């Protein structure tokens, strides 16, 4: 028999996939979502929101709304958050308010209405740079990049002797390096989850998501996942904009796999009190990814625009060591990347999108966040 599950942020890209997976597993689902315009446009209800899920439109920071949403709830998947590294560096109050205070409101409400378990969405952004090895094979957790002062200077982190560091998969034990307000807020959400659930007799789990992609992303939101941003540009006949040189490496994981991970983490006894990386375990450079989506959308002739500039808060390389999730959750990503890209492209081709990338870049440059 399933549970009554509250999904905060459940009308968003990942939230809708999680909601569908929960329903498929026999749960009843209530969604709390503010349906902000940046993500949802002016729709009152997302097109593909499941009919058999209850939707409460409200703000996670509103105590009365949160209290109402918790009535008769058995467990929670907490996804509600403002998302975007770049935007978080100037919309500081908004990101801090929604991500940190919003979670605080939720956990304070849970003191009087405890649930069995809370699974919270965290982010790979908390790592800052991923894990590296130096030329001697020693692990480097605190790799940092110096600001480039010439075009010949390496984009990659170097060791103290100026030798290049080699990126390797990043495990959960790697120390955080919080390089953006967004990353700071996600780490606060993690700690709130683990501290408050333990203090009040609940169970808590956090999933550090790597780069999630798939059908249903907010194509008109210039601060969403990079594949959605690339798709929006291509759909409008514009080249994907890539900061730095395009060789930065990331881990792209399909939204359906991520939904499965959340639902597994909600019920697996070994998940309590733990933090897990959720990724594909395969690293790809951003330029290749842009070319992959261009091919899938039959926009091969549109070459990416390489900005050769960096954004404040961006990191060079970070990709997933998923061995802990495999061992304790039994989770492994299943979707083949090319197959996932094809599904994304098929969905994107049926959409219309406003290309706001130039507008977003202008905002970042005006605030001195691009160099």
Residues known to be catalytic: 182
**Dist CA 24 CA 98 (whole Å):** 30
Residues facing residue 76 across a β-bridge:
6, 118
180: nearest Cα among 278, 283, 96 = 96
The Cβ of residue 291 has, within 10 Å, a number of other Cβ atoms equal to 18
Compute the residue count for the chain: 371
217: nearest Cα among 322, 119, 341 = 341
225: nearest Cα among 200, 177, 258, 270 = 258
DSSP code per residue over 51-114: TTSEEEE--TT-HHHHHHHTTT--EEEE------HHHHTTSHHHHIIIIIIHHHHHHHHHHHS-
Provide the H-helix boundaries in the chain. 13-24, 37-40, 63-69, 85-88, 92-95, 102-112, 181-199, 226-235, 255-267, 286-296, 323-324, 337-348, 357-366
Give, in degrees to the nearest 5, the angle at Cα 178 between 230 and 253: 40
231: nearest Cα among 307, 284, 291, 301 = 291
Decide if 215 contacts 128 (C-beta within 8 A). no
**Dist CA 41 CA 38 (whole Å):** 6
Decide if 19 contacts 31 (C-beta within 8 A). yes
**Dist CA 136 CA 141 (whole Å):** 15
Parallel/antiparallel/unpaired status of strands 139-140 and 4-8? unpaired
**Dist CA 358 CA 316 (whole Å):** 22
């Amino acid at each position: 028999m399933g549970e009554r599950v509250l999904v905060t942020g459940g009308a968003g890209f990942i939230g809708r996939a999680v909601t569908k997976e929960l329903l498929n597993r026999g749960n009843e689902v209530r969604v709390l979502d503010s349906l902000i315009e940046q993500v949802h446009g002016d729709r009152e209800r997302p097109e593909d929101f499941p009919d058999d899920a209850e939707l409460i439109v409200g703000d996670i920071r509103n105590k009365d709304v949160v209290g109402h949403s918790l009535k008769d709830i058995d467990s929670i998947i907490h996804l509600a958050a403002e998302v975007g590294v770049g935007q978080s560096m100037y919309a500081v109050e908004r990101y801090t308010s929604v991500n940190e205070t919003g979670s605080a409101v939720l956990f304070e409400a849970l003191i009087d209405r405890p649930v069995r378990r809370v699974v919270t969405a965290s982010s790979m952004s908390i790592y800052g740079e991923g894990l590296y090895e130096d030329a001697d094979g020693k692990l480097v957790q605190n790799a940092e990049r110096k600001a480039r002062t010439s075009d010949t200077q390496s984009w990659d982190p170097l060791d103290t002797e100026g030798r290049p560091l080699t990126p390797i998969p990043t495990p959960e034990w790697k120390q955080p390096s919080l390089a953006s307000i967004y990353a700071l807020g996600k780490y606060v959400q993690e700690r709130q989850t683990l501290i408050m659930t333990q203090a009040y007799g609940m169970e808590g789990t956090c999933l550090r998501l790597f780069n999630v992609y798939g059908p249903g992303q907010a194509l008109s939101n210039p601060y969403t996942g990079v594949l959605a941003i690339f798709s929006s540009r291509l759909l409008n006949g514009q080249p994907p904009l890539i900061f730095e040189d395009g060789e930065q490496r990331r881990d792209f994981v399909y939204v359906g796999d991520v939904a499965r991970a959340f639902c597994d983490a909600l019920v697996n006894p070994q998940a309590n009190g733990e933090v897990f990386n959720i990724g594909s375990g395969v690293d790809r450079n951003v330029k290749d990814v842009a070319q992959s989506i261009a091919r899938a959308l039959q926009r091969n002739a549109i070459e990416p625009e390489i900005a050769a500039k960096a954004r404040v808060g961006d990191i060079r390389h970070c990709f997933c060591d998923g061995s802990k999730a495999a061992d304790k959750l039994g989770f492994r990503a299943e979707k083949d990347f090319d197959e996932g890209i094809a599904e994304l492209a098929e969905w994107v081709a049926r959409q219309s999108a406003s290309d706001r990338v130039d507008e977003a870049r202008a905002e970042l440059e005006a605030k001195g966040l691009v160099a």
